[in-house]
Chains A and B, each alone.
Chain A
Amino acid sequence: MAGNFLPAAKLTASGRPVLDSGEVECSLLSTVDLHSEDLLAFPLLKSGLLILTTHRLLWLSSDSNTPTAVYIPLSTIQHIFSTKKSIKSMFHSPRVRFQVSTTPEGHVSEKGLKSLVITLILRGKTDIDSFLGKFWDAWRGRAWETSGSATESGPGSGSREGSESLALKVPVVGVSGILRKEQEMWESTDKSLQDAFQDLNALMSKAKEMVVLAERMRLKLLSGSNNQTSETNDDDMGTKEEMQDWLLSVGIASPVTKESAGALYHQQLSRQLADFVKKPLERAGGMINLIDIYCLFNRARGTELISPDDLRQACSLWEKFDTPVMLRKFDSGVMVIQNKTHSDDEVFSRIRSLVLKPDALRTGISASDAAMTLGVAPAMAKEYLLAAEGKGFLCRDVSSDGFRFYINLFPEISPDDRYFVKDHGIYSMWISAVSFRLAFFTDYKEVGKSIFWTMTVDFMENKLPSGCQIYSEAYKIPELFFFL
């Protein structure tokens, strides 16, 4: 569409722009037209989403059938015109005009010889002065000049950008050289951290550096196991998991805020949330409590925290566009986020195998037991157990021992004869499991219609407890294998 004049912008799966390293969003406006009066061939981009960042001005179309995204690098802007306040302008939608440099063909380019005036028509409810102010700040900030250059240090940055630059300055001689290099890097990191935490504003500007630092630390941890010269004792390796958790939470350098998005706040938040949620969801085993996401998301944002209401609204907006995640509410009222492809049946069959183990037949399972087997948080495991109970697979047992679940035997009990036990069924399996108190089952195997039990028996007295024989006849267990 605008391919010849404006470069195309990359989008994520949820329709959010992919930001470059160091790029931070400043403002979002809806229903914005973009066109140029100078060039007739320049396309008229109508009613799109305008996103101002520290590096670019992006325009996204709202038409979901033909999604388009283009951008204008701020570096190509030569001049921003001030708004003329007149009686005429009071009745029209506010306009912002600026001049960009272009190639002779009209393609927007930094070192172009020709120029073009582009007009933005802000049709939505906007505060033009506020946007203009941010536009000026972003353009004058020239953020694109500091990022992307690893060897020169930008204005105001207190730490060195890369250990590679250090390595060039200090002669590396053997092990001591390597150790010294490490030492200097850690010292500069330490100083950087100290500077950052003294002043919250300084922290915001250091945010980009922090993310770079975190990324480097992550790589260092990953290679830590291969490094033979660094002191990797057990303590270090133990906290590796903690470090990864912490690193996960510093993933976002560009929070969508009410200020920058205005009326679009929930929409953009919703998309950003959909992107963010993918990794924690995987780590949580496919289902994560909404409260946990609230904590993780806010931690990642750092400042500009969102309220629980914002979160819930953001999740409910997922229905409106195509996301791989969904919000789910259990009967108990607990709300979770899970993948759309998630299958309950698969979890139920895993639960069923768990409760049929001899230990579980005897004493049931708790939410923590299920959590360990299913690889989810105990609160999530409890929701699954309650759901399985609702389907009739499990029964609850509430006592001073706590809240436990057993395989549901009630359907197996004959309504006509309460003493009748069918051969080869779950009922007879359960009876055998609870009856052998002196012997312990370690495994069972179903082969066709028979059940093969493996058990250990207390051989202290050098013979089987006398009760065994009677029980095995009464409950007709086909075969018993004994092992020491």
Chain B
Amino acid sequence: MQTLGEFKLPHFFNYPPYFTLQPVRDTREKQIQLWKELILDYCRTQKVFVIGLDEDFQLFSNPTIERSLSHEAREAFLSALVSEGRAEWLDKGHRKCLILWHRIQDWADLILHFENGLEDSVMTVEEIRSGVESRGTELHGMDRTILMRALKLLEHKGKLAIFKGTSADDEGVKFSI
């Protein structure tokens, strides 16, 4: 079985038509479905948060069968994820895509759950994603953009407050009790 990193690839990854955007509607719908799930699962296991369309993204090529997705195909599959709310374009030119293998709401829940187990109700944003306490949790190493969005969502719900910290470039979070 082939793998990409630790991610186990399915058999159809070696099926050449999988890498050609199919024109027939029913076939394309199935193809898009498979790619959407593959992208999400791959990004989750490899902790990939952003995909750049012009960059080499390992999942989009298969050297064994010498095939890779065209730019048009990549945009089609990512757009499908965006439509489903599992991704967002970071620029108007659709060159970079933010992948939400956890929805913002899911991240927010994870943050609250994480905070529950802590004693301190105040911490910096950086500490949440790279501090000692976050090691071993899903929050560790998460994308800053996504973290800020989740925190803002929680702030909107009154679960916490974001404030500017002592150092010029970092913000802090105070959780409501």
Contacts and interface: CB of A to CB of B under 8 A. Distances in A.
Contact of A409 (B8, B12, B20, B23): B12
A375 to B, nearest CB: 26
Q: Range of interface residues on chain B?
A: 20 to 34
A406 interface: yes
Interface in A16-49: none
A406 B8 CA distance: 24
Q: Most chain-A CB neighbours within 10 Å: which of B14, B27, B67?
A: B27
Contacts, number: 63
Interface stretch (A55-63, A156-164, A317-325, A395-403): A395-403
Nearest to B16: A397
Nearest to A415: B33
Contact of B16 (A389, A406, A418): A406
A396 B17 CA distance: 6
Given A410-B27, A413-B34, A418-B38, A430 B15 contact: yes
Interface in B1-56: 8, 10-12, 14-17, 19-20, 22-24, 26-27, 30-31, 33-34, 37-38
A395 B16 CA distance: 9
B18 to A, nearest CB: 8
Contacts of A410: 22, 27, 30-31, 34
Contacts of A399: 16, 19-20, 66-67
A408 B22 CA distance: 11
Contacts of B67: 397, 399
Interface string A357-396: 0000000100000000000000000000000011010011
B20 A397 contact: yes
A179 interface: no
A389 to B, nearest CB: 6
B158 to A, nearest CB: 39
B20 A392 contact: no
A421 B12 CA distance: 10
Nearest to B38: A418
A390 B28 CA distance: 11
A364 B34 CA distance: 21
A427 B38 CA distance: 19
Contact of B17 (A392, A397, A431): A397
Contacts of B24: 389-390, 392
Interface string B142-156: 000000000000000
Contact of B30 (A413, A419, A431): A413
A74 B15 CA distance: 73
Chain B binding surface SS class: helix
A401 B65 CA distance: 11
A7 B10 CA distance: 79
A461 to B, nearest CB: 24
B73 to A, nearest CB: 10
A411 interface: yes
Contacts of A284: none
Given A397-B20, A418-B34, A418-B37, A406 B26 contact: no
Contacts of B17: 395-397, 406, 408-409
B20 A421 contact: no
Given A392-B26, A397-B20, A434 B34 contact: no
Nearest to B10: A418
Nearest to A431: B11
A343 to B, nearest CB: 22
A418 B42 CA distance: 13
A398 B72 CA distance: 13
Contacts of A421: 11
Contacts of A413: 10, 12, 30, 34
Contacts of B16: 364, 397, 399, 404, 406
A434 B23 contact: no
Nearest to A408: B27
Contacts of A430: 15
Nearest to A474: B1
Interface in B99-123: none
Contacts of A406: 15-17
B27 A392 contact: yes
Given A418-B10, A431-B11, A398 B27 contact: no
Nearest to A406: B17
A145 to B, nearest CB: 65
Interface in B68-92: none
Contacts of A396: 17, 20, 22-23
A395 B11 contact: no
Nearest to A404: B16
Q: Most chain-B CB neighbours within 10 Å: which of A364, A389, A396, A406?
A: A396
B65 to A, nearest CB: 9
Contacts of B22: 395-396, 410
Nearest to A395: B17
A226 to B, nearest CB: 52
A396 B20 CA distance: 7
Contacts of A392: 24, 26-27
Contacts of B23: 389, 396
A431 B14 CA distance: 9
A364 B65 CA distance: 12
A394 to B, nearest CB: 9
Q: What are the 8 A-B residue pairs with the smallest beta carbon separation, nearest first?
A: A395-B17, A397-B16, A410-B30, A418-B10, A398-B20, A397-B17, A406-B17, A397-B20
Given A401-B66, A410-B34, A413-B12, 13 more contacts: A364-B16, A395-B20, A395-B22, A396-B22, A400-B66, A408-B27, A409-B15, A410-B22, A413-B30, A418-B34, A421-B11, A430-B15, A434-B14
13 contacts: A364-B16, A390-B24, A396-B17, A397-B67, A409-B17, A410-B27, A410-B30, A410-B34, A413-B34, A418-B38, A419-B8, A427-B11, A434-B14
Interface of B: 8, 10-12, 14-17, 19-20, 22-24, 26-27, 30-31, 33-34, 37-38, 66-67
